[in-house]
Chain A
Amino acid sequence: MSMSIDSNKLLLRKGEMKMDNYPTCAVEALTRLETLIASRNKQNMVMQIISEFIFLERTSKDGDVRKSQALPISQMNLFQEFQLIIALIEYFSRPGRDATRNAIFLSLFGSHLTPQRSKLLSRLISTAVSGSVAPLLSSAGTWMQQVGCKTPLSLEVAQNIVSDFISYSRKTPEQLKQLPMVGPHFAANFMVAVADLYLNEQRSQTLNPPPDALLDTITEWMAENPTLCQASQQPLVLPAGAIAMPFTTPLAGLLRWVVLAPLVSNRSAYSNLHLSLLRALQQLVSSGESTALPSQDLMQIVKSLQSYCARLAESKTDPEADAAYQKCMERFAQAVQIALSSNCITNQIQLLCLLESLPPHKLMKIVIEAHKK
């Protein structure tokens, strides 16, 4: 076995000297990986090849195991990075098995990455979005779900896409608008991550509304693709033996957006989004999933509302007189009603009790009373 590793390595080294013609050796390495990845025992070697020939990483001293624990330093410059990106895109565009591709993607970019690799990942995905590279996006969607949509890595990727296509862009590019068609799975996971980035009191002290362009884009996505939220529920194509991570839907996060939005903004896009959300919730009935809206996420909304009410109390304002709060509660009540009726809320009783603790609201009261029986 060690022989075969060595022979593989030798092959690589013999074939194309890595320093001289970089992208070629990476491409070569990728094809080799295809074969290696199937066998479970060779994970270690796969990692080594990836590090050495694809990312050109060099630990301070070869072979020193303890030191290799430390972050390896890549020798790549920006141009090589982009050469690699092109190579990867080309590789993923080639016809091939989804499972293998996903496996390779996951091997290239695991859940713990050096900053350089994560940067490269962000660039890669961004390039793929720009180029509408569906296979790569599909793999990326899988990776996101496996890593976890709300993990820092995913959030970084999401953030990067937002800044690339929203902040630094004069108008929202077509590629982004068409993302749900090109890579619905990725789009859904991306929405989960993005929803977590904004209007989230756990992340920042104040409620940060999403950029207008982003909101418009997502509203458009939701309106045009009612089933988008369920895209993440599609089964993952993973290599044999791999365990699929539980999926999350963007519904909870987006619901937080629309419910809390009146506190910071009065854009009409939120109303549209709300409508789309309600529709999506309704459609969930048919699918019969009960985990679409985890009660933790909803409780987060309740908490934000509570703290808002506390602030209102400080400034001696009656919540009932506060139009923004009333609007929040209205939207919330509508969503809760539909979610309860489509039975996609976990831990309903707890949620209802919590809702009761909020300052009373007519519609909410009706909803609560209707479901308490």
Chain B
Amino acid sequence: MLRQNLLDQLKHFIETVSNGHSCPQLLTSPNLIKLALGFLEELPATRDIVFEYFALLAEISVQLYVSPEMADPKTGMPVSQVKQAGNRQQQQRAPEYEAFNLVKTALQSLVWKGPPAWSPLIANWSLELVAKLSDKYTQRRMTITASCNYWLECSAMHGLMTLINSCFRKLTQPEEEACVEIMLNAFHRFPMTFDWIVARLGGCFPYKIIMQILQCGIKRFVDDYRCHLDSEAGILDYMTSCHEQHLRAAFREMLREGFAPKKPLDVAVVPFLLITTNYSDTILQSLVNVLVEIYTEDMCEVIVQKSPLWLSNKMFAGMQPTLNNAVLRLNERGATLLLTAGKMAEKYVWCQDFLDNSMQELEQWVLNQRNFPLLADLAYEETKYMLWKSCLSTNLFEQQTAVRLLLVVSSQHPNIYYQTISQLLKKSYAQNPNGIGALIRLLGGQSGMVNFPGFTPGFKMVLEDITLDVQVNNRLPVPPGTPTEAFNTFSNLNILARMHKSKNVAPYIKAQHLNQALNECLPKILQIFECTVNKLVLRMDRDAAERIAEKFKAQQSKNNNNNNELCNGKDYGKRTKLEPGEDNVDDEDAIRMRLAHLIVDLLNNIEAGSRTTVLRTPLVLKLATLSVKYFFVGLTEKTVIRRAAASHRSYTLLQRQCSARKIARTVCLRELVERALFYHGHLLGQLEVYQRDELEIPEHEHLILQNLHTSSGANSNRSVLHSGIIGRGLRPVLPPSERNCDAEKQALYLKALNACCADLEKPNNVEGYSLVSLLLVELVSTDVMYNGLPFPDEEFTRVTMERDMLIRRAFINSPVLWAVLGLIAGHRPALCYSSVLLRALCATCLHHWRGKNVNRFQPTAANDELMLCTKKMLQLLAMSQLIPPPLTNLHLIIEHFESAEIALLLRECIWNYLKDHVPSPALFHVDNNGLHWRNTKLAKVPPQYVDPLRHLMQRKLSTLGPHYHQMFIMGELMEGDSEPDPTARLQIVEID
């Protein structure tokens, strides 16, 4: 019964289907479909006809999909979700449209769960069906992606593709190959409409498909070189998105054959691949990737050798221009390609042509602000590094290519521009000056670009880096002698600035731009400078302190004469230990010192702090302070020449700022004076004081305790104030011979002061010197009282004696003060403001000479401190015209007098004169040039100030004769023309 039933069903099925072509409703009834599906199991012989029926169902669905009645009235696109979206008529037909889904589900379950024999069967059937339907119902040519989108919207097509995909996963190796075969056959039959299917399904066995497609293409290409390869390229393009690896492998394989042709087809490989690349950017990209990957020098040879083979081929003829814009279409490796071409350009002219064309086009595009894929490549991190490397190449083509590429990318990515500038600045160009060329070209920017980024941020960037580097100071270990990045940067900036100064070099860079940019970076430069100089200053001070400590220790042990050997032994041990470390440190310091020089050079080159640039006050102050610090640091250089060079740098620096801004001058001078007196006096021969002497005193031996002990005993009325410390011997005092003042350094120092004070525009302006003078008063005088100009009664000096002694002490400690005063004295009336210092010197000398009266028989040593001091003071007064002519020579003869006489002279001639003629600017007459001058002829010295001297000299005429003549007779002779003084002459006669 059942069997009979089955046959009846079959009969019914056959009748319905064979009559139902005109009536889709009948065909798509679910019962019929279920029946057909049942047959697959129950009546296997009907397999073929059942599948034919399914194909009919699919076709009905596709027919509906493409028919206008199923289109969305608004968009004109097919309605895919008929049930929800369609109108009534469409919804009525929905079951027909969806009928195939039932089949799809059933077949899919067969594929997944059924015996393996089904997979190839269903796969083949579906493939054939899809090919047929797609060919039959494609109305117009579409791109592959469009086709995919269009057809996969159709439920039947989508179902079929799904089926094929599921089948493919179940296939065995030989079955797969058969399927590929079928697919490609279908492709050959319908190349226009089957491509999307190949592309879509190619993903299941990508390599095979890609290789086959390429082979198909090359065959067609060989037959007719003008053929259109759209389909092939389309498929490859589509598949590349997911299977680029396979495409590359295929290319690799083909190129291998192409470069070593064996078959006649191989000759066409290279032209064919080049042609194919014109169709799609992604293919081009893959090919280039492969080429770059396998490229070697040898391969280049092979290409050159084989090129006639391709050139002679007529297919190759019209291809060169297409190659040129190829680079622009690359997403990655474009830069690599161009650089490689650049490397070869020396050897092959065509490379130059290629480069020229490509670069020109590239720059054209940039000018037109068009976007192109290569830009993305250029903006990659790796590319950037590669380009930087190439910028330093000795090969000019390569280098120029790299620079141009960087310029191109810079127009869109300013940050790359800045980074590049920063990088190039950090490199050393000692070996290869090409690099600096690249830098200059780069700074020139892209000609014609409107919004090309400026280079100032680049400078700022590099300076920021260096600041960190200098501040943190934990650089990676580098081989000794390698210039640091900071050094390189500043030396490069210097080169640039210098070039720009000389004006005929580097026409690319607009002159004011560079200067302006660097001046904008001044805060950063100063930060670095500050860091460097401060470290140097610290180091210098520490060295000085150590040196002094050592000296004093030696001195002390010499004084005490104990533990001599032990100490020495210790010392030697220490020194040997320290040496290697010190070497390193010295080296580092030397580097730092050179850096400091470079920075100052740069500052001079860009004329930092000049009047033309606008600076904020803190910056001005900083620059001033640093300039002074640098000057002092410069004094520690090892050789005379270097010291001079460093000093000259700082003079320029100081002079520029001081003449530009008053505040700068104030600060510079204050710093100069203050540092010379208090911080770096040791450089200028300051009396060295051992700071840590007292540290060695144990607590119970402190003076105050000792005083307590002794205050109760027999000696309680005596102080324990000694010149030494009990148990430790005398305070160490360096022998005076070592207290020499370094004349060279002092000269440099004075020049520095002069540079600050001198006014280039008004040479006779003494404002600066006055300032120094006032500063001296402020810094040397310890009291705020009685600092005025007038000299009081000599009696009054008792009040100020303590202060005066201290001032005197300052002069002893810092001999440079004399020199400074000397400088000031030369620029009248600046010294007037230091009246208090002169007064103190004068007063103390007076007192000391008076004190000497007590033991008058003690001879005065020639270079006794008191005598020297007196002489210098007199000299100063004379130089500054504070004392009138006959007295001006006093310093020459003073040593010939006794202490009492000296005391007398000082009191009568100097003190009293000054008391009556207050040393003030009012004494001076200003001439037309603004020069201060005191006409001594008009200011006749009253005799009461001169006579004591005259008398004393007359007593010692034998030794002081010539002086007397010069001082009195000559003067009076000259005056005598108008008003002779007979008494004077008489007295001379008397003495004779």
Closest B residue to A165 by beta carbon equals: B44
Q: Is A360 at the interface (CB under 8 A from chain B)?
A: no
Please state if B117 and A89 are interface contacts (CB–CB under 8 Å): no
Q: Is B581 at the interface (CB under 8 A from chain A)?
A: no
Please state if A168 and B118 are interface contacts (CB–CB under 8 Å): yes
Q: A133: which B residues are within 8 A, CB to CB?
A: 3, 7
Q: Is B85 at the interface (CB under 8 A from chain A)?
A: no
CB distance from B11 to the nearest CB of A (A): 5
Q: B10: which A residues are within 8 A, CB to CB?
A: 82, 86, 127
Closest A residue to B5 by beta carbon equals: A131
Closest B residue to A83 by beta carbon equals: B14
Closest B residue to A86 by beta carbon equals: B11
CB-contact partner of B7 in A80, A81, A123, A131, under 8 A: A131
CB-contact partner of B18 in A83, A123, A165, under 8 A: A83
Please state if A168 and B46 are interface contacts (CB–CB under 8 Å): no
Q: A132: which B residues are within 8 A, CB to CB?
A: 3
- How many angstroms between the C-alpha atoms of A85 and B14 in the bound complex? 11
Q: B41: which A residues are within 8 A, CB to CB?
A: 169-170, 173
Closest B residue to A79 by beta carbon equals: B18
Q: Is A200 at the interface (CB under 8 A from chain B)?
A: no
Q: B40: which A residues are within 8 A, CB to CB?
A: 168
Please state if A163 and B42 are interface contacts (CB–CB under 8 Å): no
- Interface size, chain A (Cβ < 8 Å): 28
Q: Is A78 at the interface (CB under 8 A from chain B)?
A: yes
Q: A78: which B residues are within 8 A, CB to CB?
A: 48-49, 52
Q: A85: which B residues are within 8 A, CB to CB?
A: 45
Q: A173: which B residues are within 8 A, CB to CB?
A: 41-42
Please state if B44 and A164 are interface contacts (CB–CB under 8 Å): yes
Q: B118: which A residues are within 8 A, CB to CB?
A: 168
- How many angstroms between the C-alpha atoms of A132 and B114 in the bound complex? 24
CB distance from A166 to the nearest CB of B (A): 8
CB-contact partner of B46 in A89, A127, A170, A175, under 8 A: A127
Q: Is A167 at the interface (CB under 8 A from chain B)?
A: yes
Q: A165: which B residues are within 8 A, CB to CB?
A: 44
Closest B residue to A175 by beta carbon equals: B3
Q: Is B17 at the interface (CB under 8 A from chain A)?
A: yes
CB-contact partner of A170 in B18, B47, B115, under 8 A: B115
- How many angstroms between the C-alpha atoms of A123 and B45 in the bound complex? 5
Q: A90: which B residues are within 8 A, CB to CB?
A: 7
Please state if B17 and A131 are interface contacts (CB–CB under 8 Å): no
Q: Is B171 at the interface (CB under 8 A from chain A)?
A: no
Q: A80: which B residues are within 8 A, CB to CB?
A: 18
Q: Are A126 and B49 also in contact (CB < 8 A) when A86-B11, A163-B117 are?
A: no
Interface 1/0 per residue, A119-136 and B, CB below 8 Å: 000111011001111000
Please state if A86 and B42 are interface contacts (CB–CB under 8 Å): no
CB-contact partner of A82 in B44, B46, B121, under 8 A: B46
Interface secondary structure of A, over-half rule:
helix
Please state if B14 and A82 are interface contacts (CB–CB under 8 Å): yes
Most A C-beta atoms less than 10 A away, residue of B44, B115, B118: B44
CB distance from A140 to the nearest CB of B (A): 13
Please state if B49 and A131 are interface contacts (CB–CB under 8 Å): no
Please state if A127 and B43 are interface contacts (CB–CB under 8 Å): yes
Number of A-B contacts (CB under 8 A): 73
Please state if A126 and B7 are interface contacts (CB–CB under 8 Å): no
CB-contact partner of A168 in B17, B47, B49, under 8 A: B47
CB distance from B830 to the nearest CB of A (A): 117
Please state if A164 and B47 are interface contacts (CB–CB under 8 Å): yes
Q: Is B6 at the interface (CB under 8 A from chain A)?
A: yes
- How many angstroms between the C-alpha atoms of A83 and B19 in the bound complex? 12
CB distance from B57 to the nearest CB of A (A): 15
CB distance from B121 to the nearest CB of A (A): 8
CB distance from A167 to the nearest CB of B (A): 4
Interface secondary structure of B, over-half rule:
helix
Please state if B115 and A167 are interface contacts (CB–CB under 8 Å): yes
CB distance from B603 to the nearest CB of A (A): 90
Interface 1/0 per residue, B27-63 and A, CB below 8 Å: 0000000000000111111111100100000000000
Q: A169: which B residues are within 8 A, CB to CB?
A: 41, 44, 115
CB distance from B12 to the nearest CB of A (A): 10
CB distance from A314 to the nearest CB of B (A): 27
Q: Are A131 and B6 also in contact (CB < 8 A) when A78-B49, A79-B14 are?
A: yes
Most A C-beta atoms less than 10 A away, residue of B7, B52, B113, B118: B7
- How many angstroms between the C-alpha atoms of A126 and B4 in the bound complex? 15
Q: A123: which B residues are within 8 A, CB to CB?
A: 45-46, 48
CB-contact partner of A86 in B7, B48, B115, B121, under 8 A: B7
- How many angstroms between the C-alpha atoms of A240 and B457 in the bound complex? 113
CB distance from B3 to the nearest CB of A (A): 5
Residues in B1-27 with C-beta less than 8 Å from chain A:
3-4, 6-7, 10-11, 14, 17-18
- How many angstroms between the C-alpha atoms of A80 and B49 in the bound complex? 10
CB distance from B128 to the nearest CB of A (A): 15
Closest B residue to A170 by beta carbon equals: B114
CB-contact partner of B45 in A127, A167, A170, under 8 A: A127
Q: A124: which B residues are within 8 A, CB to CB?
A: 45
Q: B46: which A residues are within 8 A, CB to CB?
A: 82, 123, 127
Please state if A168 and B115 are interface contacts (CB–CB under 8 Å): yes
Q: Are A79 and B49 also in contact (CB < 8 A) when A169-B41, A169-B115 are?
A: yes
- How many angstroms between the C-alpha atoms of A57 and B86 in the bound complex? 48
Q: B114: which A residues are within 8 A, CB to CB?
A: 168, 170
Residues in A112-164 with C-beta less than 8 Å from chain B:
122-124, 126-127, 130-133, 163-164
CB distance from A41 to the nearest CB of B (A): 36
CB-contact partner of A130 in B17, B45, B117, under 8 A: B45
Q: A127: which B residues are within 8 A, CB to CB?
A: 7, 10, 43, 45-46
- How many angstroms between the C-alpha atoms of A78 and B14 in the bound complex? 10
- How many angstroms between the C-alpha atoms of A90 and B52 in the bound complex? 24
Q: A86: which B residues are within 8 A, CB to CB?
A: 7, 10-11, 14
CB-contact partner of B44 in A81, A89, A126, under 8 A: A126
Please state if A79 and B17 are interface contacts (CB–CB under 8 Å): yes
- How many angstroms between the C-alpha atoms of A85 and B6 in the bound complex? 13
Residues in A229-286 with C-beta less than 8 Å from chain B:
none
Please state if B117 and A167 are interface contacts (CB–CB under 8 Å): yes
CB distance from B16 to the nearest CB of A (A): 10
Interface 1/0 per residue, A166-199 and B, CB below 8 Å: 0111100101000000000000000000000000
Most B C-beta atoms less than 10 A away, residue of A82, A133, A165, A175: A82
CB distance from B220 to the nearest CB of A (A): 34
- How many angstroms between the C-alpha atoms of A124 and B10 in the bound complex? 13
CB distance from B48 to the nearest CB of A (A): 6
Interface 1/0 per residue, A48-90 and B, CB below 8 Å: 0000000000000000000000000000001111110110011
Please state if A89 and B52 are interface contacts (CB–CB under 8 Å): no
Closest A residue to B4 by beta carbon equals: A131
- How many angstroms between the C-alpha atoms of A79 and B21 in the bound complex? 12
Interface 1/0 per residue, B940-979 and A, CB below 8 Å: 0000000000000000000000000000000000000000
CB-contact partner of B6 in A130, A163, A170, under 8 A: A130
Residues in A77-117 with C-beta less than 8 Å from chain B:
78-83, 85-86, 89-90
25 residue pairs bridging A and B, Cβ less than 8 Å apart = A79-B18, A81-B49, A82-B46, A83-B14, A85-B45, A86-B14, A127-B10, A127-B43, A127-B46, A130-B3, A130-B42, A130-B43, A130-B44, A130-B45, A131-B7, A132-B3, A133-B3, A163-B117, A164-B45, A167-B117, A168-B44, A168-B117, A170-B41, A170-B114, A175-B3
Across the A-B interface, the 8 shortest Cβ-Cβ residue pairs: A126-B45, A164-B44, A79-B18, A167-B117, A127-B45, A123-B45, A132-B3, A130-B43
Identify 14 new A-B residue pairs, CB closer than 8 A, beyond the known A86-B14, A165-B44, A170-B113. Answer: A81-B49, A82-B14, A83-B14, A86-B7, A86-B11, A90-B7, A123-B46, A123-B48, A126-B44, A127-B7, A132-B3, A164-B47, A168-B121, A169-B41
| B-binding residues in A (CB < 8 A) | 78-83, 85-86, 89-90, 122-124, 126-127, 130-133, 163-165, 167-170, 173, 175
